[in-house]
Chain A
Amino acid sequence: MHRLIHATSATATSAFFQAHTTVNGVAAICDALGGLFLPETRTLVVSDLHLEKGSAFARRGMMLPPYDTLATLRILEAIVARHDPATVISLGDNFHDRRGSAAMPETFRQMIALMARGRDWIWINGNHDPDGAPSLPGASMDELRHAGLVFRHEPSMADGLGEIAGHLHPSATVRRRERSIRRACFATDGKRLLMPAFGVTTGGLDLRHRAMSGLFERERLVAHMLGRDRIYSVRFANLLG
């Protein structure tokens, strides 16, 4: 929730609000609002928006508060405004289920249309929304090669050189002085980068989870953790202190 508060209020940014990194030689900026910006091609990447998650659960009888879509889109608006990207790539699980993109209320459609105006908008298909987002501006596809990188929803088990993926909702746990602090994070070893989940009602999976094994060269792995108003970059080996 602190991302939303920050996105809708402050414009002042600390020096650590962004962390600079490179993926397969391409310069990238990890933004504390949860998106990745590639300055050379003015490309903004976000992942796992899980829009309409609240309503998806409501349809199955689980009455979650329905405000998640608006909250996620507000943060998206803030990060789009900040970087003014030429291209926006949403890396899959854009909607929580297949019906999400059709069921989304008109006001949210308009918010997205406004954001997409004058930009290329790419919806990468995810496992939650394999049919794409046909009723929204932009193009839907399974995979995109752009800016010297490969964008797909699920990380491949291949070497992953230059791969930007989502799906796993990476989070990292810092342990210091008997305390554990867990935050969503960008995870990269310089070859591949995993995006944090951007949606407000998304959980996280720890970098130590077996689903993450084999994806990174652990000696080079750095977790860029999303803090209240800055990125905390911590080497994987140093997470547990």
Chain B
Amino acid sequence: MGAAFRARTPSLAQLFDEDMLGDDLEAWLNESFLLKRTFRTCAVIAGLIDQRHPGKEKTGRQVTVSADLIYDVLRMHEPDHILLEATRHDAATGLLDIGRLGSMLKRIKGHITHRRLDRISPLAVPVMLEIGRESVHGEAHDFLLTEAADELIIEAMGIGHTAGE
């Protein structure tokens, strides 16, 4: 990313443009792990699912339906379900405070300085801790699966080729 900033593609101004808070964001957020994680917290508080603690294994009869699944089902069938409402409410003031984000983007417009540090700045530590906890997968998973599946196709074509000779 640092390299991309140096090359100015995309420029920092573009990357932090307020435009990014449009409909695309809304659509992405609905699918996002951030929202699903917020939902999971809500579902635990509501007693819908049990939180798994390290060392405490699930009993055989305990439900293994994931919070993600319930989230998807509710989103499809009951978009105004109270737990989804709570999720949106929590998300709006928690990790995804769009209002604050918007005003910050406006405030910092044209004032962003990019500086490469040789170590992690203290203010960046919370962000660094989040790395790997949230994944942004869209096409990426499909791409990796395609890559794996192509191996068999190539192999099959290879066998066909040898047989033909």
Q: Beta-carbon contacts of B82-107 to A below 8 Å, as 1s and 0s?
A: 00000000000000000000000000
A227 to B149 CA separation, bound complex (whole angstroms): 11
Q: Kindly list chain A residues whose C-beta atoms are within 8 Å of the C-beta of B114.
A: none
B123 within 8 A of A: no
A238 with B151: CB separation less than 8 A: yes
B144 with A64: CB separation less than 8 A: no
A203 to B48 CA separation, bound complex (whole angstroms): 17
A183 with B145: CB separation less than 8 A: yes
B65 with A181: CB separation less than 8 A: no
Chain B contact residues: helix, strand, loop or mixed: helix
Interface size of B by Cβ–Cβ distance < 8 Å? Answer: 25
Given A174-B144, A201-B65, are A235 and B155 also a contact pair (CB < 8 Å)? Answer: yes
The stretch of A65-73, A98-106, A115-123, A148-156 in contact with B is A65-73
A181 to B78 CA separation, bound complex (whole angstroms): 28
A128 within 8 A of B: no
Which of B72, B140, B146 interacts with A232 by CB under 8 Å? B146
**14 additional contacts (CB under 8 A) given A183-B145, A235-B152:** A64-B65, A64-B70, A65-B78, A67-B77, A71-B76, A174-B144, A174-B145, A176-B148, A181-B145, A200-B69, A200-B73, A203-B65, A238-B152, A239-B148
Could you list some 10 contacts between A and B, CB below 8 A?
A: A1-B76, A183-B145, A200-B73, A203-B65, A225-B145, A227-B142, A227-B145, A234-B145, A234-B148, A238-B151
